[in-house]
Amino acid sequence: MAIQEWVKLKDGQPVPLERALAAFDQFVLHDQEGDLDEVSRRLDRLAQSISLEHPDISAENPRRRAELIAHYLCLKKVTGADDRDYHNLRNNFIGLALNSIGHATLPLISVGIFCSVAGRLGLIAEPCGFPFHVYAIVKAPDGLTLDGRPHNGDSPPEIMYMDPFRSKIEVSRRDLEAQLRTMGVPSAAHHMLLGVSSTVQMVRRTAQNIIRSIQTTRNAHDLNVSGEILYPESEGALYGALWALLLLPEGDEALFQRARYLPYILDHLEKQYTFDIALVTTYVLPLFDDSQHLEQLRDALRVMRAGDSMPKQVRLRTPDTLKSVQFKVGQVFRHKRYNYRGVITGWDVECAAGETWMSQMGVDRLSRGRHQSFYHVLVEDKSVRYVAEENIVDIGVDAGAKLISLAGRHFKRWDRVSRTFVSNIKDEYPND
């Protein structure tokens, strides 16, 4: 769903800013709520809340309406960020911001929320990609000024600038031009930098912000002092940013930019996101018309498909296996002896390892020995292990952020109701 939104933008189709930004959330959701439609519903509710707070807002002139919206968003802490928390990865995601009102957002996300809510309340509001900061431009409707007076149609519509990230009131164009002069920007370039930015530009800028946040805080972000993975997890965020930059390059050197990001996409594809091979085949392969990169991509996909299409041994749950294999693919457990948490990714009716491994691991010293079911499992520390059934306990424990972030290769999603992962490998374990 996320990639399709950016493909539409690539093909010149209109995509609402809120959906284009919410597409990034889809790469880090895991078991969280916040799909594209849910983001729109939250923005609907936010606009409705403002209308309840200000019942006559629709009768206000555009200037006053814009300031009321910015004031409400600031008061409810929907927008803005503390300087100490500015580069936190979570500040780049509009869905996460709307799901947990009160946490920080980057200026671009603050503007995205403001423009989306303003549009629902009858304003024409769009982002302005100012250097190092994003502002909102509010345009007067046809035939009126921003103050609601009749407008002479011979002159351009009035516009105003808002900074919902850090202010409730209008920002003077004169102040913005002064900032540009301080930066050394020639006057001839002011008009371009103070104009409306496209949705494509905002998506690209969000992707760059995500990468910058990861580079700035990578060592501190993914694990807190207790070793628990924080949300959003950086690998999924980076994968989404790479997709955006690959699909929506800047300027005339599209092929060069896409070639730059292609190896990183393929690396993620091979290690964690093998189920996205079809997406790469459908949306990325047609982007490369030069022989060198096209062949590189085809070869990489051919190798991955070959590994994916190797004959798998199908394990059916017959009356015999139902008696001996107690647990299913997708169930989360704790290890009886070592207390680590893992998820089952496969099983054998009895130990299928070689004699050397069984001897080294003391399999025959287990109370039920080698003739009990053994399970292939993925563990929180990213290791893959082979566990005897007698050591699997506490089935149904919560998956936790670590496992959810690691499980994409084998599972579609985490189901909170059943407390299991939904299997992605039905060809091998069709009854699980």
Of the ranges 5-14, 316-325, 408-417, the best mean pLDDT one: 5-14
Confidence of residue 375 (pLDDT cuts 50, 70, 90): very high
pLDDT over threshold 90, residue 11: yes
More confident residue, 199 or 215: 199
d(CA 231, CA 90): 7
Q: Would you call 393 helix, strand, or coil by DSSP?
A: strand
**Is 404 exposed, middle or buried (CB count within 10 Å of its CB: 0-12, 13-18, 19+)?**
buried
**Is 232 exposed, middle or buried (CB count within 10 Å of its CB: 0-12, 13-18, 19+)?**
buried
pLDDT over threshold 90, residue 272: no
pLDDT over threshold 80, residue 172: yes
The predicted pLDDT at position 306 comes to 62
Can you state the angle between helices 62-75 and 107-120, rounded to 10 degrees? 130
268-278 mean pLDDT: 74
Is residue 87 within 8 A of residue 77, CB to CB? The reply is no
Sign of CA dihedral 224, 227, 231, 235: positive
The predicted pLDDT at position 195 comes to 96
Confidence of residue 319 (pLDDT cuts 50, 70, 90): confident
Confidence of residue 92 (pLDDT cuts 50, 70, 90): very high
Amino acid at position 148, single letter: G
Write down the mean pLDDT value for the chain. Answer: 85
Give the pairing type, strands 411-415 and 392-393: unpaired
pLDDT over threshold 70, residue 182: yes
Residue 271 exposure: Cα atoms within 13 Å on the Cβ side? 12
Instruction: Give, in degrees to the nearest 5, the angle at Cα 201 between 197 and 206.
Output: 120
pLDDT over threshold 80, residue 173: yes
pLDDT over threshold 50, residue 230: no
271-280 mean pLDDT: 76
pLDDT over threshold 50, residue 219: no
d(CA 213, CA 147): 39
Q: Poorest-confidence range of 33-42, 55-64, 181-190, 301-310?
A: 301-310
pLDDT over threshold 80, residue 333: yes
369-380 mean pLDDT: 90
Q: What percent of the chain has pLDDT over 90?
A: 45
Q: Poorest-confidence range of 27-41, 82-96, 332-346, 369-383?
A: 27-41
Q: Is the pTM of this model over 0.75?
A: no
More confident residue, 394 or 66: 66
pLDDT over threshold 90, residue 175: yes
**Is 97 exposed, middle or buried (CB count within 10 Å of its CB: 0-12, 13-18, 19+)?**
buried
pLDDT over threshold 80, residue 46: yes
296-321 mean pLDDT: 69
172-199 mean pLDDT: 95
The predicted pLDDT at position 380 comes to 81
Closest CA to 323 of 391, 386, 376, 371: 371
